Structure 1
Amino acid sequence: MLLKTLGLFVVSAVAEIVGCFLAYLWLRKQGSAWLLLPAAFSLVLFVWLLTLHPAASGRVYAAYGGVYVATALVWLRVVDGVRLSALDWLGAGVALLGMLIIVAGWDSRN
């Protein structure tokens, strides 16, 4: 269950980041307004993916936050070309540990 949850969170994070990034390109980088169509689709996909988790929505959002932090840092490195510091990696690790702790309790509480 943990790997499936983690994978679903990563796909959700990528969908959210892509949707926001496309809107950013339109707003800040004078991109075409047509970017808003795939941005909207990506954000709808993100929301739908979050509904696939078995836990209460607040727990899902809290656990997802940890994966989002790590995924955003990988995006920063890969897409924006920014070199990550040791503290970036440490922060991502702490965030992922928080996600693991929250997800570990999903079976015992609803």
Structure 2
Amino acid sequence: MAYLQTLGVFVLAGLCEIGGGYLVWQWLKADRPGWMGLAGAILLVLYGWVATWQPTSFGKTYAVYGGIFVVMSIAWAWYFDGFWPDRFDVLGGAIVLLGLGVVLFWPRA
């Protein structure tokens, strides 16, 4: 159960960071209204707070989160921007997930 909670916090952090960055991007690059930029900024601050919910150290948390971020960014681009990941995007995402699984869950002596 602890694994699911850990992954859930990473996913929530990813939604805050990617969603916040996306809203700021839309505001600045796609000429969307200012409230989108403000909402994005709030989500980015929330991302920083949510990440502190992890029980591991800062460095380990951010190392693992980097892998979650890669995979979630590919999924976000597919869902929101119409980007179709090719087999190399999928393979790269799978490799990243495997690596973060080793870092986060591999039994330590």
Establish whether TM, by shorter chain, passes 0.5. Answer: yes
Instruction: Report the AA paired with residue 17 of structure 1.
Output: I
Question: Which whole-Å deviations, capped at 9, do the CAs of 1:41-74 have from their partners, x for residues lacking one?
Answer: 1111111111000111000000001111110000
Taking the TM superposition and a 5 Å limit, the aligned residue runs for 1:37-56 are 37-56=38-57
* Greater relative contact order, per chain length (Cα 8 Å cut-off, separation 6+): 1
Q: Which residue of 2 aligns with 1:88?
A: 89
Could you tell me how far apart the structure 1 residues matched to 2:102 and 2:76 are?
A: 24
Letter in 1 for 2:15: V
1:62-101 matches, within 5 Å, as: 62-101=63-102
Aligned to 2:13: 12
Structure 1 unaligned segments of length 5 or more: list them.
none
CA displacement at 1:75 relative to structure 2 = 0.5
How is 1:99-110 mapped onto 2 (pairs within 5 angstroms)? 99-104=100-105, 108=108
Q: Matches of 2:49 and 2:101 in 1, distance apart?
A: 22
1:108 to partner: Cα distance: 4.5
RMSD value, Cα: 1.6
What letter is aligned with 1:72?
A: S
Paired residues of 1:2 and 1:103 also in contact (CA < 8 A): no
Q: 2:28 touches 2:37 (CA, 8 Å); kept in 1? A: no
Q: Gaps spanning 5+ residues in structure 2: where?
A: none
Aligned length: 108
Query: Which structure 1 residue ranges, 4+ long, deviate > 6 Å from structure 2?
Result: none
For normalisation by structure 1, the TM-score amounts to: 0.90
Partner of 1:31: 32
SS at match of 1:79: helix
Which amino acid letter does the alignment assign opposite residue 83 of structure 1?
W
TM-score (norm: length of structure 2): 0.91
